[in-house]
Amino acid sequence: MVGSPHDAATAPTVADASPGVAVTPADVATAPLHGSGPGSGTTVYGAHRYALGALLGRGGMGEVRVARDERVGRDVAIKTLISGEGTPRMEAVGRFLREARVQGRLDHPAVVPVHDLGFDDRGVPYFAMKKLAGTTLAEILARHRAGDRDALARWPRRALLARLAELSLAVEFAHTRGVVHRDLKPHNVMLGDFGEVYVLDWGIAKIGDDEPTSGAGIQRTDLDTLDSVVGETAAGSVLGTPGYMAPEQARGGVIDHRVDVYALGCILFEILTLESMLPRGVAALAAAEDAVAGRPAQRRPDRDVPPELDDACAHATAPSAAERMASAAAVHAAIQRYLDGDRDLARRRELAAELAAAAAVHLEHGRREDAMREAGRALALDPNHGDAATLIGRLLLEPPAETPIEVTAAIDHTRIETGKRYLRAGTVAYLAYVLLLPGLLWVGVKDWTMPLVVGAMALFNAGFTFAMSRRDRLAGAWIYLALASDGAMVVLSSVFFSPLMTTPGLATASALTFLGSPTRKAAAPIIACTTTAMMLPLLLEWTGVLPRTFWIDDGGLHIRSWVIGSDPVGTLVLLIGANLALLLTAAQMANHLRRAQDEADRRTQLTAWHLRQLVP
C-alpha cells in the first residue's frame, strides 16, 4: 500500500464548523508553489513534473494519487483538494494548505515529509509528499481479529506495542512544536514494510493559538449526520473522531495536548483487546462524555493483558484531563518499560527451553544429577515451563538404580548422630547399674567377688560407650571387645537373681545400645552376642558349672541367690529398683528411637511439601 491510504478506509471524522484559516492573495503569493496560483493558466501536471498514476485513496476533503516526479526521478504521492465543480471555497483551500504546512514543519521520521506545495490550473491546491509502503494499524488489527496467521506472525502484539511507543514519541515531538493532532486513531497510523511508523492526516491539527482553543461543540442537529460519514474524513461539526475523542474534546471544551494522550490510550486499549474502547458513531459521543478509564484486563480477561499495561491504559484514558498521563512521552515510557521487561522475560524463556532440553539429554544418558540441576535452573528462569516441571517430577518419583554417594554419606551422617544419642543413653544405663551395687549393703553380700567384677565391667562399658559417642568411627576390634565385656557382665549378673529375672532385661538393653552405635558392623553379631549372654547362664546352671539359682517343683518356682543375703525387704527393694532401672533404660532407648523417627518423618514431609510448591 502506498500514499495515504487512510483516506480510503477510516473511522468517521468530522471537522470544526469554523472556517479555519482564511487564504488571502498574499498567502497564495508567498506559498512555495510550483505553479503561479489559481487561475494563472499554468497547469502543474502539464509542466510534466508529475506524471499522475492510480488513485490511492479518497476521503472527505482530498484524494491521493501516485505520481512520478520527473524532475527528481522518484515516485511520490500527490494529495489534491476535492473541490467538485469550479474553484474550491477559500476556507477549504485554507484548511488544505494549513494541513500541508503543519505536516511540512514537523521534521520527524514518523511524519510524512512534504516535498512540494502548489495549485493546478483549476486553482485546486495540491501537495506532493513521500510515497509510503506499508499497512495501516487499523487493517492490521482487523486481520488480527479475523485470526489471520500471517498478520499475527508478522505483527505480533509485542511488535505493535513497540510501534505505538515510537508513535508516542512522534506525537510528543509535535507537542513540543505546539501542534496537537486531535485525530489520532488506528486508521491514521501506518506501519511501514521496513519497520517505519508514520502519523498520517494532520488536517485538523491545532497549532498553538492560531485558532480557538475549544471546538465548536456538538450540536443536536449534527447527530443525525455523524453515522453518515462513517469511512471518511469530512469537514463538519466537530474536531476529531468519535470513539477516540477525549471527553473534553467531545464536549467542545478547552483542549490541549492531553487529547492526543487520550487517543493514544484508546489505541493501546485496542491493541491489547482487539476491541475499541468506545463505541463508534453517535453512541461514541455520549460514551465519551460519560467515559471511565479503560481497563483492557476487565474487558478481555482472556487476552492475558499485562498488569503494567492495564494500569498505563487506565492512566492514559482517565476521563479528567488533570488525572491523565501528563504527556505522550509518558505513554512511551510506560510501554517501553514493559517492553524492556518483556524482552528480558522472552530471553529467560528461551534460556529455560535450552536448559530443559539439555536436562532431557542428561537424563537419557543416565546423568540424573546433571539433569536435575539443569531442569531446576530452567524452572528458576521460567516457573511455568512445563517440560522442566515434568522432568523434575519424574526425577523425584523415580529413584535411581544406585544410591548416589552424596545420599549415602548423608544417611551415614544421620545414622551416626542417632547412634551417638543411643550411646549416651547407654552410658547413663551402665552408670545406673553401678549405682545399684551399694544397695547390696542393705541386703547383705555373701561374696563380694562377683559384685565387684560386675561393677568394674559396668564402669568399663560406661566409659567405652561414652568414648564411642564422641567419635564418628571406631575400629572393629574395640566393638567386639565391648560386646564381650557387656556379655560377660550380663552372664555374671545372673548370679544375683537367677537368669530368669534381670538377665533378659540386661540383654535387651545391651542389644539396643550396640545396635544404635555409630559403627558399620552388621546387626547379626550384636544379636548373637546378646542372645548368648542371656542363654549362657541357663546352660551353665543346667550343666552344673554354676550353682543352681532356681528350680521348679510342685510348690512352684523357687529362686535363691548364692551371692547376696536373704533380707526379704531389702531384696524386694533391690529387685524393684533393678527392674525399674531396666524399664527406664528401655524406655529411654525407645524414646530416642521415636524422636529420631519423628524428626526423619518431619524432614521428609517438609521436603515433600517444598517439592510440591516447586512442581505442582
- For the residues of 244-301, what is the DSSP string, one character each? T--HHHHTT-B--THHHHHHHHHHHHHHHHSS-SS--THHHHHHHHT-----HHHH-G
How many residues can be counted in the chain?
616
User: Chunked in runs of 10, what are the mean pLDDT values of the chain (616 residues)?
Assistant: 40 34 39 36 52 82 88 90 71 84 89 89 86 92 94 93 96 94 93 91 80 37 36 47 86 88 96 89 66 86 87 93 94 92 72 88 84 85 81 75 74 74 76 75 75 84 81 65 81 80 79 65 80 88 84 80 72 73 73 76 76 59
At residue 595, the 3 state secondary structure works out as: helix
At residue 127, the 3 state secondary structure works out as: strand
Amino acid at 439: G
Q: What is the pLDDT of residue 582?
A: 72
Query: For the chain, percent helix, then strand, then coil, each to nearest 5?
Result: 55, 10, 30
User: Does 344 participate in catalysis according to the annotation?
Assistant: no
Amino acid at 294: G
pTM passes above 0.75: no
Longest CA–CA separation in the chain, Å: 154
Among 24, 73, 40, 77, CA closest to 55: 77
Say which of 116, 120, 183, 387 is annotated catalytic: 183
Amino acid at 384: N
Among 157, 133, 134, 135, CA closest to 145: 157
Rounded to 10°, the helix 405-436/503-515 angle is 150
Q: What is the pLDDT of residue 475?
A: 52
How far from 218 is each of 255, 324, 477, 603, CA to CA, in Å?
Answer: 15, 23, 107, 73
Q: What is the pLDDT of residue 96?
A: 86
Rounded Cα–Cα distance for residues 227 and 297 (Å): 29
